Amino acid sequence: MLRILATDGIDKSARDELESMGHEVTEQYFEPEELKKALADYDVVVVRSATKVKAPIIDAAADAGRLKMIIRAGVGVDNIDVDYAEAKGIKVRNTPNSSSASVAELALAHMFSLARFVGISNVTMREGKWNKKNYTGVELSGKTLGLVGFGRISIELAKKATALGMKVLYTNRRGPREDFPEYGYSTLEELLRLSDFVSIHTPSLEGGKALIGMNELKLMKNTAYIINCARGGIVDEEALLQALESGDLAGAGIDVFVEEPTKNLALINHPRVSSTPHIGGSTAEAQERIGGEIVEIIKTSF
């Protein structure tokens, strides 16, 4: 019997299955200092993006000697010091296959929201304004979508964008992919210059460095839009706000922020920003699939 702690919740069907296997599942969030103590009593901890498992927490868990595995209920593991945990004898796993479609759909939703003023018109109509003449948008069909990073989420988004009549370009640190000849490969600089919409799908850079800063934003068309449903800090928030204020960029869709909950009110309240509170994987279907992957990881690991 394993004691499993889910600090950011777990799908009910996964919890029921784990308990039917004889395991004990606790759903409770702990602040970092409390988490250090709590992990002494658990074999497995399941986290989402809200819980950070860094060196001090890993040290405490390793010293206690019980924790065997950290599972990230999602794709990215940059909220976990993976190498450090593995070096301490604590395995780290994630669920890379479960939320790709959900994140891709949210990126697409932000594209529609920006292109047709869905977000801001909803706000102004609630204020009693009828700004019809201000909201002449653009169609996605015929536009070029540039994908920065070309993993599972980007591939899902590319398929959906192609169905809408968009041309898809991508750049990828490993170079062009022979298994997707239907999409065009380019350098980051070329992609930024050519794309009408740019969607970011890469892990965080070392040290929290921005991949897209002022220099990169200046390469983009002033009619272009940028979407970040990847990680906070990949796009420099200050540079992005400046580009929006100066008119160098038409708009931005943002699901992830440097600090969460974000205090960057100037950015999220900008009329050309579509913002959501890190909900890329927050669909019932994705959470059920994630739960299934967690169960499978535990079944095959213990």
Instruction: Report H helices in the chain.
Output: 12-20, 32-38, 55-64, 82-87, 100-115, 118-126, 152-163, 188-194, 214-219, 237-246, 265-268, 284-301
Three-class SS of residue 62? helix
93 among known catalytic residues:
no
Q: Quick check: 95 and 298 in contact, CB under 8 A? A: no
Catalytic residue among 33, 86, 259, 260: 259
Catalytic residue among 231, 237, 270, 293: 231
Element (H, E) at 199: strand 197-200
> Which residues are registered as beta bridge partners of 170?
147, 185
> Which class for 9: exposed (0-12), middle (13-18), buried (19 or more C-beta within 10 A)?
middle
How far, in Å, CA of 93 to CA of 10, rounded? 15
152 among known catalytic residues:
no
201 among known catalytic residues:
no
Query: Which residues are identified as catalytic?
Result: 231, 259, 278
